[in-house]
Amino acid sequence: MKVSVCRSCAPQAQFVDFLRKGLEGIEVESVDCMSGCTRAQTVAFRASGKVAYLFGDLTRDDLAELQNFARLYALSQDGTFADARVLGSLRTKAIARIPG
């Protein structure tokens, strides 16, 4: 699994370092603009053969939800979930679900 954090979202410039510490054991990379500017801070989760997710409007307060999502995503065979309620508040912060 790889987590991409938009570095163009200026108000959250150090968010990538925060996630690297909070998502220990997961590759977290800083990337150029992911076109989520109206919903900064944006973060994408992806893994080979799985649906990818793009979330926006994230803050440090979402760390527990992101950790839970990472755990569930790792356990999911294809990256999908039968019930979106397991995503908690991230359900309302999802910008896109991209086929794998």
Confidence class of residue 10 from pLDDT cuts 50, 70 and 90?
A: low
* Tokens 């309620």 belong to residue: 85
Q: Are strands 2-6 and 52-55 parallel, antiparallel or unpaired?
A: unpaired
Q: Which residue from 31, 22, 21 is spatially nearest to 69, judged by alpha carbons?
A: 22
Domain boundaries, the chain: 2-98
What's residue 9's pLDDT? 75
Per-residue pLDDT reduced to its tens digit, 17-53: 999 999 999 999 999 899 988 998 999 999 999 999 9
* Residue 33 φ then ψ, to 5°: -40, 130
Distances (CA, A) of 50 to 34, 59, 76, 80, 99: 19, 25, 8, 8, 7
Model pLDDT for residues 62-88, shown as the tens digit of each residue: 999 999 999 999 999 999 999 989 999
Q: Per CATH, which fold does 2-98 belong to?
A: Glutaredoxin (3.40.30)
